[in-house]
Structure 1
Amino acid sequence: MDRRVINPWEWSVAYGFQQAIEVTGGRRTVYCAGQTSVDKDGHPQHEGDMTAQAHLSLDNLETVLAESGMTPANIVRLNVYTTDVDAFFGATESLGERMGRDGYVVSMTLLGVQRLAFPELLLELEATAVA
């Protein structure tokens, strides 16, 4: 797979995302369901803590990717749904450090929503990965 980052404006890089990613030569695409801050039995965790929920959501996303034989470096699209945009921005420094370390290079959309599947969830991550 070849990946080309497209950024006509560089401001988005400071926020941890690319304007677009072109993929050529990919043979497999994995469309991940939204991953949230739940344990292995599907019970919500870390009520009220955006940073902890975001990290567990990333853990769960990475588990799904690993099961498909992929890593965060394969993600080309990440949609973030949150019930609290301001709290999400408060967690971005910690998330940005982790995502940089783990090889995320993604186009991303952040959407504020009224609620998620369980009221205590603050964040849901939906990814598309290509290999």
Structure 2
Amino acid sequence: MEKRIINPWEWQDKRSYVQAVEVKNVESTLYVSGQTAISADGKSSDEDMKTQLIKALQNLEHVINEAGYEPRGIVRLNIYTTNTAELWPHFPVLQDWIAKHGIKQALTLLEVKSLFETLKVELEATVVK
């Protein structure tokens, strides 16, 4: 697999994403449903934003690994949150996770009216290998 990063500017580097990712010679592609702070027994978290973000990242990584992929193969990440102002102080948690795995992904962040039950953040990814 070949990945080419397209960044006509530098400002996005501080925000831990890229403007575009071109991928060639892909062996396979994994489309991951939105991962949230839901426990292994299916219980939605009612904890704070930071705790939910950490659990959503853990769940995302678990699904990716279970499928035989690696987080560094993420080429697209969509973040849905019920409150961007509440998410911003914890954005370094996401940035650290991205840096830890060497991920270079296109990213979209959307504030939505609500998510399932008590959830505050959801992560949807496209992963290649």
TM-score, reference length from structure 1: 0.94
CA offset digits 1:20-65 (Å, max 9, x no partner): 11100101000000000010011112x2411111111011011111
CA offset digits 1:78-118 (Å, max 9, x no partner): 00000001111111112211221122221100000000111
CA distance in 2, matches of 1:78, 1:56: 16
Name the residue aligned to 1:2. Answer: 2
Aligned amino acid, residue 104 of structure 2:
V
Aligned amino acid, residue 128 of structure 1:
T
CA distance in 2, matches of 1:125, 1:94: 13
Where do residues 79-94 of structure 1 align in structure 2 (5 Å cutoff)?
79-94=78-93
Structure 1: 4+ residue segments shifted above 2 A: none
Aligned amino acid, residue 72 of structure 1:
P
CA distance in 2, matches of 1:44, 1:103: 29
CA distance in 1, matches of 2:104, 2:49: 22
SS at 2:22 equivalent = strand
Aligned amino acid, residue 37 of structure 1:
A
Among all aligned residue pairs of Structure 1 and Structure 2, give the percentage whose two residues are the same amino acid: 40
| Structure 2 stretches lacking a partner, 5+ long | none
Aligned amino acid, residue 12 of structure 1:
Q
| Structure 1 stretches lacking a partner, 5+ long | none
TM-score, reference length from structure 2: 0.95
Where do residues 68-107 of structure 1 align in structure 2 (5 Å cutoff)?
68-107=67-106
Moved more, 6-15 or 76-85: 6-15
Name the residue aligned to 1:17. Answer: 17
Moved more, 50-59 or 90-99: 90-99
SS at 1:104 equivalent = coil
Note if contact 1:2-1:25 (Cα within 8 Å) is conserved in structure 2: yes
Where do residues 15-94 of structure 1 align in structure 2 (5 Å cutoff)?
15-45=15-45, 47-94=46-93
CA distance in 2, matches of 1:104, 1:43: 29
Task: Give RMSD over aligned pairs.
Answer: 1.0
Note if contact 1:4-1:23 (Cα within 8 Å) is conserved in structure 2: yes
